[in-house]
Structure 1
Amino acid sequence: MEHVEAVVVGGGQSGLATAHALVRAGLKPVVLEASDRAAGSWPHYYDSLTLFSPARFSALPGIPFGGDLDRHPHRDEVVAYLTACADRLQADIRTGQRVIAVRADGSGFTVELEGGGRLSARAVVAASGSFGRPHRPDLPGLETFAGQVLHAADYRSPTPFAGQRVAVVGAGNSAVQIAAELARESRTSLATRTPVKFARQHLLGKDLHFWLTRTGLDTAPLGHLLKNPPAPPVLDDGRYRAALTAGAPDRRPMFTRLTGDRVTWDDGTTERLDALILATGYRPHLPYLAGLDGILDPAGHPRHRGGASPAHPGLAFVGLEWQRSLSSNTLRGVGRDAARAARRLAAHLAPAS
């Protein structure tokens, strides 16, 4: 069995930020990424996705985006950027290495890989994100709905839905973006439990992220205070509010039932529905930690405080939504949480070094 100092599970934005921070803290991390490249979930997002924050606010520590810093990078630009970041890091990044279990082993951990490989690590950082665990809400009739059902994780473009009747469930950025582009190819409704909340992309001539940074709201350590963190509003330069106002897509209260291939709306009307797209978010994807006592709650969510595991001091989390702040699971904010985790782990390992 190979013995290493620290294992980082996941080679996306969280894993790369963590590897950078661990190296700066004097540790030698091994990054284990299940896919064939260190770009996380970004290659799998829908084709038209662009960052909600400008390039100048969207870089990992020490590696800025190139080009116009006021642009909003496209999905493929982010993939290329993360791949370049991985190439520049002085860390052992191993792709095609899926972690299936982490087990306590004396003062450290045994990390088991798909295919039978094992590593012994003094510290482990869970940075695998949430894309692998799309959330499917319990909607009446969903399991027997005869139309097509897919999560936003599986959506790529509006072309396959041309001419169809489509409903998108959700009120966040991805839901509104997907519904708006679908409406150009199909008759699309956005089904939400509450009206869509918008935030202006620009205030007083500056991008909203400038003000979040300037005021400190982006980094305020509020995560442990919020039992039910608020859903962020839809960032909009005016186009999405205008699309909803024009009814393309139209926004409707959540339907009451799906029966066969039909949907029943809250006003009692029914109609045939070809496809339902769930833009309903994700949950932490941490099945490899299920064998560690005291780590996950019954719903599979990690028990932590600011990313630190109270049950195992050698275990940390990076990239969780609202781990510490509003920006914890974003390109612009994950580096701060990674640095904090690295400092804590370096201090934990110091007596044994």
Structure 2
Amino acid sequence: MYGKSLLLVSEPSLGADETAALADVISSNWITMGGRVAGFERAFAEAHGVGDAVAVNSCTAGLHLALSALGIGSGDEVIVPSLSFVATANCVIYTGARAVFADIESLERPLMSLADAEAKLTPRTRAVVVMHYAGSVADAQAWRDFASRNNLFLIEDSAHAVGQDRGPIFGDLAVFSFYGNKNMTTAEGGMILGRDKAVLERTRRARAHGMTSTTSERLNARAASYDVLSLGYNYRMSELNAALGLAQLPKLAARNAKRRLIVQTYAEAFGKRPSGLRLPLLGHAPSAHHLFPVVLPQHADRSTVMSSLYEQGIQTTIHYPPIHQLTWFRQHCPGVSLPVTEAFGARQLTLPLHPKMSEADAEYVAGSLLQLLATLAGSGT
């Protein structure tokens, strides 16, 4: 086992600051949505160059609220990538709309294909969700032009791309994830950013049952009651999650820079790679460098590669099984064919990438994979 421990694909960076932040919340005896959530919203919005933000308990909740706030519902269609976490499509279905899957551009550039999205347009298409796979941000101008030309709402699934490295917000709304494996974490949590104050206010109210005031607002105003102005959900962020976010956000730029260094180390270590091994999105900009995906040669059995690397102390995983090939979606969205996504999904492998890694770690991972692929090629496996 490498270094007597498993080198993980991702790992949160938590320490004394996060411990103290959580202890302060406990000591305050106010743990539900309050001042820390509001403070985190302001800080996150400022860090991304917008005036306001809405904190929620997951990116999934944020995507659902974003679609709902834009009026997406029954009878509508929303174009989404199949190469994403299942939540990207689930949130469309929550609204009663139909998720329409688009293919990726290529094995080297596994971002949603604008040409295929154009081909999937119908009179019912109301929105498109662009996902910044692995932290690599999609072409802002091209997608903005596409949305404007076709009178569509544009939503950024920015779960993989957070911080100034991702560049300016360009969608009507952008939604972020703070899950434990992301570039910054609140354990569970998400954030919605946008420039339309009215739309953001709809998401803010809907995250708390459509109520006109929160518990803390009623306490401070000494108000006895509230009203409900719209259908809403229980998508609130807690003070504990926000405290973690406030501790993590100031460290984000430095940690993204460390991720960029690890990616550069990988690029050098894989410089003389065998035919068939692809390093998608290498050199793509802008990028928050959330994942380091590779595409294995066709001759390499992925399960064998993953097991062999694990024996050498290297965890690997897959991002992602294409959504349209998952059982529920095969049953409810039959007949979907996305050849490039399917080819990518069959051969993709995610290698470790996180700020706790050293350059030597990245060199070890790359060397181990290259040696293993050479062995498999020699044996015909």
Task: Please give the TM-score of this superposition, normalised by the length of structure 1.
Answer: 0.28
**Which one has the bigger helix percentage?**
2
TM-score by length of 2: 0.26
Between Structure 1 and Structure 2, the one with more strand by share is 1
